[in-house]
Amino acid sequence: MDSFSAVDPAQPNFSDALFQSVEKLRRPPARVREQHITLAQGSGGKAMADLIEDVFVRQFDNPILAELEDQATFNLADLMQWGDRLAFTTDSFVVDPLFFPGSNIGELAVNGTVNDLAMGGAVPLYLSCGFILEEGLPIDHLRRIVSSMKEAADQAGVKIVTGDTKVVQRGSADKLFINTAGIGMIRPGVRTSARSLQPGDAILINGDLGDHGTAILIARGELALETGIESDCQPLHGLVEQMLAVCPEIHALRDATRGGLATVLNEFALSSQVGIRLEESELPIREEVQGVCEILGLDPLYLANEGKLVAVVPRAKAERVLAAMRTHPAGHQSRMIGEVIADPVGMVILQTRFGTARIVDMLVGDQLPRIC
């Protein structure tokens, strides 16, 4: 078996349940004895089965996954109780290093996928995960990462119900890559889109910019810098739920990951054929992040975040949405940072503290590769 998957089964009859109980008694629990990932653990044999059962199934344990089929199936009637439209997303994570201040690649993979669903106004429900493991990866590192994924999934209220593992030769990958996909349901009346911005709309954000990108930069140890900055990795669906409760007509939502705030706003402006004006004095950036950027010649507006969302809401509802955001742990520092304007179309303009204006363009190149 080269995957760990699940089916949502009908209630088993008595003989099926008895047979499964007897099989469990006969078969001792799988246990991985090796200290590092080996090619045998990707061969489809017993070594791979033991790895899947011991490291993945044991952690992600839930009734759906426990069936260990090659796919996950769901009762449509059960899904429809959450909404009338299905949201589906996928993402891959190649962050370097695997562990960094405040988080790791596993937690990042779960929260990143949960947040992608949430930005469509969806209630996240189920995730899949695929692992590309490099020969030689310490098993203890993998256990820590999988454990953090389980914790993140529990916190977000989602289940990991299907997955896959592949092992590649040493040097063919960089320790560990993770792919996740997720499905959720969108409630009636909720329609967020980058094409929905209107002049006069307010631009909101839920806290400090650039923490994740800065944490990754420092964790790489390439610079003699020390800060207390940690990644802002966190799930945002609960915050979005509170926002939608007071303003179902939110025009657009997006998490500011790769390319940061600047990239999100440029995408919005181009998609809706409007302009966006930012107020530099309202941008929440920690002094430590600003200092690192000044030393290295970086712009915090382009640094990655993993727990920050950008919301575009009708101006008349902005204060009500901000009040709701500030009652949620992920939104205590929420504020309005700008507005949508009619012109110049497709451009983001920053009003500086000195009374001047500058264009905030799309990111050219990559300030910091492999940050997620």
pLDDT tens for each residue of 77-122: 999 999 999 999 999 999 999 999 999 999 999 999 999 999 999 9
Decide: 64 and 160 in contact? Cβ < 8 Å: no
pLDDT at position 28: 66
pLDDT at position 265: 98
pLDDT tens for each residue of 204-222: 999 999 999 999 999 998 7
- Helix or strand run (H / E) with residue 164: strand 159-168
pLDDT tens for each residue of 135-188: 999 999 999 999 999 999 999 999 999 999 999 999 999 999 999 999 999 999
Helices (H), 69-185: 76-80, 105-118, 139-156
pLDDT at position 222: 73
pLDDT tens for each residue of 305-351: 999 999 999 999 999 999 999 999 999 999 999 999 999 999 999 99
Alpha-carbon gap, residue 308 to 249, rounded angstroms = 20
Go through the domains of the chain in sequence order and give each one's CATH number: 3-186 (3.30.1330.10), 202-359 (3.90.650.10)
User: What does each C-alpha distance from 53 to 58, 60, 182 come to in angstroms?
Assistant: 6, 10, 22
Decide: 268 and 276 in contact? Cβ < 8 Å: yes
> What is the value of pTM for the model shown?
0.91
What whole-number percentage of the chain has pLDDT above 70? Answer: 92
Query: What is the band of 27 on the pLDDT scale with cuts at 50, 70, 90?
Result: low
